[in-house]
């Protein structure tokens, strides 16, 4: 049986990986903006707060879902459902923060697409690492 402490720890470790990735991608895509670092920091901060909440409930929902599938398939499905939620959130935040940029929608889309690929890989590896951990298990 898994504990809330485990889910909180998974949330924090994932947020560190994910927020760092989004921050760097945002700076890259909006590098022409003189306030890119400051704005990317706001994207990262807002994303961190929102996505920690979303991720926690995503974890709790998957924990409550009893599906008879292999752990690898379960982790893949969790990866896909989380990426949909997370990339849409990133797109909305980046677009909103950089809305004055005439190419904000295209750049926010670029961030969301590239982060989808990178973060699906990172998330899958994160899930596999946590699968081997006994932390927070009763």
How do residues 36-90 score in pLDDT, each as one tens digit?
999 999 999 999 899 889 988 998 998 888 777 887 888 888 888 988 998 999 9
The domain spans of the chain are 4-132
CA distance linking residue 18 with residue 93, whole number of Å = 14
DSSP letter at 137 equals: B
Structure tokens at 129: 């690492």
CA distance linking residue 110 with residue 123, whole number of Å = 19
Q: Which residue has the tokens 């974890």?
A: 59
Does pLDDT of 1 surpass 60? Answer: no
Q: What is the pTM of this model?
A: 0.76
Find out whether 125 and 10 touch, Cβ atoms under 8 Å: no
Confidence band of 2 (pLDDT split at 50, 70, 90): low
């Amino acid at each position: 049986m898994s504990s809330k402490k485990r889910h909180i720890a998974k949330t924090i470790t994932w947020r560190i990986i994910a927020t760092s990735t989004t921050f760097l991608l945002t700076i890259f895509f909006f590098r022409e903006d003189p306030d890119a670092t400051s704005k990317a920091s706001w994207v990262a901060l807002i994303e961190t707060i929102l996505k920690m909440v979303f991720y926690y409930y995503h974890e709790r929902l998957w924990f409550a879902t009893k599906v008879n599938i292999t752990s690898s398939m379960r982790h893949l499905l969790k990866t896909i459902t989380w990426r949909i939620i997370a990339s849409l959130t990133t797109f909305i935040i980046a677009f909103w923060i950089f809305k004055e940029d005439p190419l904000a929608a295209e750049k926010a889309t670029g961030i969301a697409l590239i982060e989808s690929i990178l973060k699906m890989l990172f998330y899958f590896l994160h899930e596999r690492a946590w699968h081997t951990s006994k932390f927070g298990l009763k």
